[in-house]
Structure formats: C-alpha cells, structure tokens
Chains A and B, each alone.
Chain A
Amino acid sequence: MIEIKELSKSFKKTLAVDGISFSVAKGEIVGLVGENGAGKTTTLRMLATMLKPSSGTAAVNGYDIQRQPSQVRGEIGILFGGEVGLYDRLTGRENISYFAELNGMTKAETASSINELVNLLDMQEYIDRRVGKFSRGMKQKVAVARSIVHNPSVMLFDEPTAGLDVSAARIVQDFILHCKEEKKAIIFSSHSMSEVEKLCDRIVMIHKGKIVEQGTVAELKAKYRNDNLEDVFVQLVGESNGN
C-alpha cells in the first residue's frame, strides 16, 4: 500500500507539487487526474524515488521513500506512457531479464517469472527476437511484462495509454485490472476522464500541485450532482483558478 503525507516538490522557484496527501490500499486503483503540468508525473517520480521531495514524505509498503529508496524501488513497478523505453538491439526476453536482474532477482527466478509473463501476455512467438522491429502493440506488451517481472506490490502508471491505438490501450487496461486482481496497490494517472472512470476505484484530482477534490466516482457524482465527471473537473479547476 501507499501512504503519501504532505508531499511537496519545488523546482527552483516553481512549486510543482504542493503538500498533497492521500493513500492507496491493496487491490485498489486510484486515479490521479489533472491537466498537463499539474504535478502528476512529479508525484509519481517522487514515489519511485527518482526525485527527492522538497518536504513531506511517503511510505511504499512500509518503506520510506526518503530513507529507504532502494527497498522502495524493489516494491514498485512502473509503466510510463509515450516512449516504451526498450533497448532496440536486445530481444524482448533480454530487455525484461535486464530489469529483473537489476532488481536483484537471480537468473532462475528471472527465467521462471518471464516464462509466466510470456504465457500470460501471449508473447511466445516473438519474445526471443530483437525489439527494434516490433509493432507498437508488441513493444507495449514487453514494457508491461518488464514493469511487473519482479512481482512488485505497488504499480505506478503514468498516462500509460497516451498515444496508443485502441487495441494497444486495451492491453494496458487489461493489465491494470490484472494487477488489481493480484492485490497490488495501484496509482494510475491520466487526463482521460472516461478511462479513469472505467478503471479507478477512487479519484484524486490535482491542479497546480494541489489536491482539489478526491473520492470515489459515485461520491463525486453525488456531491456535485453531475453525472459527467469531466464537467466536475472543469468546474473545480475553474474555481481553483479563480481563487
């Protein structure tokens, strides 16, 4: 599980994330919604210990992101949108096993974990070919397998479906639901409200680094008496800008 306490991050003079707090339970999917530059990626990068918080902290499965960064990284799997970030000259299997071994897995553990994922994601045909010539969908599956090969307890998805066609996006969405079934704590950032509504148990809306609202889909709809979450979001952002 994830517990975020008063997490802040400033870059030079801009405050990218401003004292946000929320938590994610096991088997729960929390949607992080906000405009570009609202602080979604910065938050996820801090959770992944790639960036150091300016103040506040977070605990990932009990490990503190400031004091135990290496253990935290062992607990998390990350899937980013945009570039899949695979090594073109390595095969699918080599790509995945590099990350598994960087996460401290033995060769035997790596091999069995990869075989499982190859079957799960139906990659038998091409897993031992070099990634360079793969289609987008095939690359996406390799990236998905890479993010979970070390069996993390927490998954972070940063706009994972950005720029994907319908079928490739489907692979990712199915995978997120698979992670939920495996009782992982999941944060999923997106600016597509329909996708968030479809997948998430709870929604955290952030704007200019601050949380403007959070709750379950049903709670939010009831509170604002609006069946369209996008309208709710636009309204909240507008109010926040007015202040």
Chain B
Amino acid sequence: MGINVIKLVFLKELKDIFRDKKTIFMSLIIPLLIFPLLFLVLGGSMDKSMKQVEENLTVAIVDSGNSSLSQFLHNQETIKLVESTDVEADIKSGKILVALEVPTDFDEGIKTEKPVDLVLLYDNASQSSQMAFSAVSGIVDAYSKAVIEQRLLTRDISGDLLTPVVIDARTTEKEEEGFGKFMLSLMLPLMLVIFSISGPMGVAVDLGAGEKERGTLEPVLTTQAGRLSLLWGKFFAITVMGLLSTIASLLGLLFSMRQEGGLFQGSAVSIEPVTLVLIGLVTLLLTMFFGALELSISIYARSFKEAQTYISPLMMISFIPTYATYMLDAKNIETYYFHIPLANVSCILKEFLAGIYNFTHIGITFVWIIIYIFAAVLFARYMFSKEEVIFRT
C-alpha cells in the first residue's frame, strides 16, 4: 500500500510539473541558457574593452624640453598622442587614458647617468586607464632597457650580464586546460551548492504552499493515503526535478566553457568519470537535503509568496559558508573545514576537481550529508504531522 501510494503521488506530481510550462521554463530552460549567455556577454565585453584600449591608447605628453623619450613614444605605433592643456581633467573625463609628465632636464639626466623622475598619471578607478597605464609603463621600460644597453655598450659590457637566470615556465596541467581547471575549482563548488538550493525550490514551493493555496491539499488529506506516503511521493518528485535543474545548469556551464569568444575562450577541461560520478553523488544528496528542507518550509507557509519569502533567507545563509571557502586551495584544506555545514561540501568538491581523494575528508563529509538529509526529512515529517502546520491558512 505505502509504496504504491508513494509511486502514485510521485508520478502524478511529475506529470503535473511537466505540464506546467512556467516551471519547466524556470527550472530547466533558463538554467540551460543562463551561463552560455552570461559568459558570452562577459567574455565579449572584456574582449571589447581590451580591443578598445589597444586601438585607442590615448596618451598626453607634457614635455617642454622635447626629450628623447617623447621622440621614442612618438615612434610607437600603438599609442595615439593627444594634446592636452589640463591632463587631470582630461583623464577624469576619459578624453585621454594616461598622461606622461617629462621633466625639462630629462635628457640631461639620462646623459649624466642620474636617475630621472617621471610622472605617469592615470585613473585608478577606470579599467581602461589601468590597462593603458601598464601599456605605457611597458614602453617606458623598453626605453629604459635600451638606455641601459647603450650604457653597457659604451663600457664594453655584454647585456647578458643583467639576466643571469632565465625561467622556462612549464605547467603540470595541459596549458590550455590550466585556466579552465582553475576557474572550475573556484566556480563549480559554489555553483553546485547554489543549484542544489535553487533547483528544487520552485517545485517545493508548488507542491507544499501551492497545494494549500489552490485548496487541493485538504481533499488529498481526506483520502485513505497516509500523510507520510504523500510526503515521500512529493519529496522524490522534488528531488528528481531539482536534479534535472542542476543537470541543465551544468550542461549550460559546459557549453559556455566550450564557447569560442566566451570567458573561457573555448578552453577544454576534461574531468575523469570517477570524479564526475562522485560530484554527481554529492550534488544528488545535497539536492535531497535542500528539497526536504524547502518542502518543510513550503508546507508551513500559507501561500506561494510566503513560502518564497521564507526560503530566500535559506539561500542567503547557505551562501556564507560556501563563499567562505570559495578561495581555498584544494591542495591544503584543513580537516576542520569538513565539519562545517556546506563548507564541507564545497571543499570536497574542490578536492575532487583537483583529483584529490582523501578518504578521511570524504568519510566525514558524507556522514554529515547523510545526517543533514535525515534531519531534514524528519523535520518535514514533523511538519506534515502537525495540524497547526497543515491547516495554517
């Protein structure tokens, strides 16, 4: 009887959900599209602002002595020299990106081999100005190097003297994978926790508070079916939908990483099947935990709106431990992190992505997750059995 009723409720809820275009759109279509779109726009705008600076490197030179440095800059094709009477105002307004103030005794100083002070003025609140700043400093550095070489040459010394060691940087990850892997270890744990909260949310609200609001809960309660069977049926339906939603988001993330011209510049990251299975398992369990918790809150609420109001803080609170571990390096996470709710999930995902399988950490984390789920389901059970909750209208 129990199992049949659970199955009946489960299948009915899924049928109901899949016929709801709004829910399908919100929990499957949008997650699928959000990352490709976001990263395409983000990557595109970064590219664009970089190109803009490259093509339009406006620099003003304040140089009454017409120094050799000014001549050097004049000959650089990458910069565009602009006349300016008030450099500070022009930088602020964006008319020029940086201004170089060359002292009158510049050439004199170079000739007598005394250090010369240059002023390079830029707007540290503007990204374009900062980019221009480093471009111009590079040019000045190049000029400076040329001067040094000239000085050494006159003393009959080789320029090699200045570079005793040359670094040949090699990477353990394939060069094109490194950036992607780094981004993934930062983002994926965070994203998976967020998906596990947001994935089951819409459906949980609908199956609890939604039933109350539409007046369908009471008739269901008058049937022979036990309340617990109803709870389990709903819980499994929520888990399935939450998981589908997470998968949709992950697929979107995967597409966006392969995207040419996106933020990841099409860098391919290969994840081993074992890692993928483990990540999938953690996500499933976390979705079950949040699904049960959200269903408990939802059944307590009087309406959709109230349920959403109650569930939003849950999201905010969950962000804290997750963001706290956001920047941790997978290679040296201390064990106590694995006792902090959600921080442990985020950390274990980081380790998996880095290819670290620390059985103590895995053990601790899984035991905790199982405890969370157990507690959340018990809580949901308690809520479903309370008259004050079910008839709170």
Given contacts A82-B215, A99-B219, are A52 and B20 in contact (CB under 8 A)?
Answer: no
Whether the Cβ atoms of A78 and B222 lie closer than 8 Å is: yes
Given contacts A51-B387, A70-B226, are A89 and B219 in contact (CB under 8 A)?
Answer: no
Report how far A99 CA is from B19 CA in the complex, Å. 19
A101: nearest chain-B partner, CB-CB = B8
Q: Which of A84, A86, A89, A102 has the most CB of B within 10 A?
A: A102
Residue interface mask B225-269, A partner, CB < 8 A = 1 = 110000000000000000000000000000000000000000000
Whether the Cβ atoms of A80 and B16 lie closer than 8 Å is: no
> Is B216 in the interface zone, CB < 8 Å from A?
yes
Whether the Cβ atoms of A103 and B224 lie closer than 8 Å is: yes
Report how far A75 CA is from B222 CA in the complex, Å. 10
Given contacts A89-B16, A90-B15, A101-B8, are A70 and B224 in contact (CB under 8 A)?
Answer: yes
User: By the criterion of a CB under 8 Å from any partner CB, how many residues of chain A are at the interface?
Assistant: 30
Q: How many A-B residue pairs have CB under 8 A?
A: 69
Given contacts A82-B215, A85-B215, are A102 and B20 in contact (CB under 8 A)?
Answer: no
| Residues of chain A within 8 A of B8, CB atoms compared | 98, 101-102
Within 8 Å by CB of A52, from B15, B217, B387, lies B387
Whether the Cβ atoms of B218 and A50 lie closer than 8 Å is: yes
User: By the criterion of a CB under 8 Å from any partner CB, how many residues of chain B are at the interface?
Assistant: 26
Q: Which of B1, B8, B222 has the most CB of A within 10 A?
A: B222
How many Å from the CB of A96 to the closest CB on chain B?
11
How many Å from the CB of A77 to the closest CB on chain B?
8
Report how far A156 CA is from B119 CA in the complex, Å. 90
> Is B5 in the interface zone, CB < 8 Å from A?
yes
Q: Which residues 115-154 in A have Cβ within 8 Å of B in the complex?
A: 130, 146
> Is B391 in the interface zone, CB < 8 Å from A?
yes
Whether the Cβ atoms of A102 and B214 lie closer than 8 Å is: no
Q: Which residues 1-48 in B have Cβ within 8 Å of A in the complex?
A: 1, 5, 8-9, 12, 15-16, 19-20
Whether the Cβ atoms of A104 and B222 lie closer than 8 Å is: no
| Residues of chain A within 8 A of B391, CB atoms compared | 45, 50-51
Residue interface mask B352-393, A partner, CB < 8 A = 1 = 000000000000000000000000000000000001101100
Q: Which residues 45-82 in A have Cβ within 8 Å of B in the complex?
A: 45, 48, 50-52, 70, 73-74, 76, 78, 80, 82
Report how far A70 CA is from B227 CA in the complex, Å. 10
Q: Which residues 83-113 in A have Cβ within 8 Å of B in the complex?
A: 83-90, 94, 98-99, 101-104
> Is B221 in the interface zone, CB < 8 Å from A?
yes
Given contacts A89-B16, A89-B19, are A80 and B223 in contact (CB under 8 A)?
Answer: no
12 of the cross-chain contacts (CB-CB < 8 Å) are A50-B391, A70-B224, A70-B226, A76-B222, A85-B219, A87-B214, A89-B19, A98-B8, A102-B5, A102-B220, A103-B224, A103-B225
Q: Which residues of A contact B (CB under 8 A)?
A: 11, 45, 48, 50-52, 70, 73-74, 76, 78, 80, 82-90, 94, 98-99, 101-104, 130, 146
